[in-house]
Amino acid sequence: MGTITNVSEYEAVAKQKLPKMVYDYYASGAEDQWTLAENRNAFSRILFRPRILIDVSKIDMSTTVLGFKISMPIMIAPTAFQKMAHPEGKKYLCSSTHVE
């Protein structure tokens, strides 16, 4: 396995390593999978604008979410059945973003 650089590559590795039933559970959506398709479409519209030759000596990635200042805009949504993928699943996914 080489370097993974995007979510599609993670998905391919998961499909290869997880039992079929477990992979199918994580990769699917409820009922007609409409929300799953809408989420994928929404994420595909997010673009990053590369900027070069910008002063990066002082970077502040903090932001405010629901009135709370967080150190960076990375959060984990509620998930379930993490132990299907790893014996210590809950242990790894229960840590939250640092709130200041």
Average pLDDT of adjacent 10-residue blocks, the chain of 100 residues: 82 93 88 90 88 88 92 78 80 46
Could you give the 3-state DSSP secondary structure of residue 69? Answer: strand
What is the pTM (predicted TM-score) of this model? Answer: 0.56
> What are φ and ψ of residue 27, in 5° steps?
-85, -10
Whether residue 89 contacts residue 83, with contact meaning beta carbons closer than 8 Å, is answered with yes
pLDDT at 37: 92
Looking at residue 45, the DSSP 8-state letter turns out to be T
Tell me what pLDDT residue 67 has: 93
Helix (H) or strand (E) holding 64: strand 63-65
User: CA-based angle 8:75:31, to the nearest 5?
Assistant: 60
Rg (CA), the chain: 17
Give the start-to-end residue ranges of the domains of the chain.
1-47, 54-100
Phi-psi region of 23 (alpha: psi -120 to 50; beta: other; left: phi over 0): alpha
